[in-house]
Amino acid sequence: KKDNMPLEAIMRTDDHHIAKHNKILGMKYKDDIQLVFLGDSLTRRWEDNIGIWNTYFAAYHPVNFGVGGDSLENIKWRILNDELEGINPKVIMVLAGTNNLDKDPEEVIVSGIEEIVGMIQAKLKDTKIVVLGLLPRNHTEAGKNYGKKIARINRQLTARFARTKITFKDIGAILMNEKGRVSNAI
């Protein structure tokens, strides 16, 4: 894959993905969807914290379109396969790209996020798009540190979405403790 080539849309065929995709297709018929969360497991995990979800988001008529393990290619496939059809939310929040860190250079991740945003803009013309930067990750058990790569990606996204209608937020710093690790309190 060349760095300047669009990401291939890839369908996952595992039972989890198929079940979640079908669930999302059914969720689209929920009354008055005003806020969509689109992403990977970092988004999907709100389902594990329904009390917090309801406290902070229920008033905004939200739906959770997060799927654990999704890479940018999988999210692109989901967009191309009807997950955003027939809805007109006020806001869509996108958190994606962390599952591409191992396999893709930062340019591919940045352009993949931009491509997904462009697809959303084409389908949801009146929807405000909020993109969250890649969140910090602790070192892997093998000692791999993604901190600098994440920081470079987020700087590129900040520049690319500056002076556009897209709201980009890098909230990673507030998730870190004084030792430079993801806070256990989070």
Residue 61 has pLDDT above 50, yes or no: yes
% residues pLDDT > 90 (the chain): 77
pLDDT band at residue 177, thresholds of 50, 70 and 90? Answer: confident
pLDDT mean over 71-84: 97
Q: Which residue has the higher pLDDT, 61 or 173?
A: 61
pLDDT digits over 78-119, tens only?
A: 999 999 999 999 999 999 999 999 999 999 999 999 999 999
pLDDT value at position 2? Answer: 46
H-only helix segments in the chain: 15-27, 41-44, 50-57, 72-80, 106-123, 147-161
Cα distances from 2 to residues 14, 39, 56, 182, in angstroms, run 27, 24, 41, 32
pLDDT value at position 52? Answer: 93
Residue 154 has pLDDT above 80, yes or no: yes
Place of tokens 């959770």: 64
Identify the helix (H) or strand (E) that includes residue 129.
strand 128-132
pLDDT value at position 131? Answer: 98
87 in Cβ contact with 34 (< 8 Å): no
pLDDT digits over 1-33, tens only?
A: 444 557 899 999 999 999 999 999 999 888 899
| Phi and psi, residue 130, nearest 5° | -115, 125
pLDDT value at position 125? Answer: 96
Q: Which residue has the higher pLDDT, 70 or 142?
A: 70
36 in Cβ contact with 95 (< 8 Å): no
pLDDT value at position 1? Answer: 43
pLDDT value at position 4? Answer: 54
User: Please, what is the average pLDDT of the chain?
Assistant: 92
pLDDT value at position 183? Answer: 75
